[in-house]
Amino acid sequence: MAQPYQCLVAPKSPPSTYEIAALLDGEQGAGWRVASLTMQRALIIGTGLWLAGIRDRKLIVGSLTASATVTFWIMGLYLLKKEKNQ
């Protein structure tokens, strides 16, 4: 039996890492939770971009792109880590 991705999450990791692992494990509803956490992260990034003077469409596109990149980066790391452990 394959090891679940949840076992690869380091202790005291941010909630998004647990949700990404749950998504990779196929847990029901995890996709919506990952999307929600990605949007929350985009709000924080967007605040920083706004304070840096970025406005309008660039603010929205930049914050969503940066947040999605972080999500996919974590997902990729878990996929590589699991492949390495098999």
| Each residue's pLDDT tens digit, 9-34 | 888 888 889 999 999 999 999 999 99
pLDDT at 38: 96
State the pTM of this model: 0.85
Q: How many domains in the chain?
A: 1
pLDDT at 2: 58
pLDDT at residue 52 greater than cutoff 80: yes
pLDDT at 32: 96
3 occurs within a structural domain: no
Domain with 57, as residue range(s), is 15-85
From CA 77, how far away is CA 25, in angstroms rounded?
A: 14
DSSP 24-82: HTT-TTHHHHHHHHHHHHHHHHHHHHHHTT--HHHHHHHHHHHHHHHHHHHHHHHHHHH
- Position with higher pLDDT, 27 vs 82: 27
10 occurs within a structural domain: no
7 occurs within a structural domain: no
Q: Which amino acid is at 33?
A: R
Q: Contact, 67 vs 42, CB < 8 A? A: yes
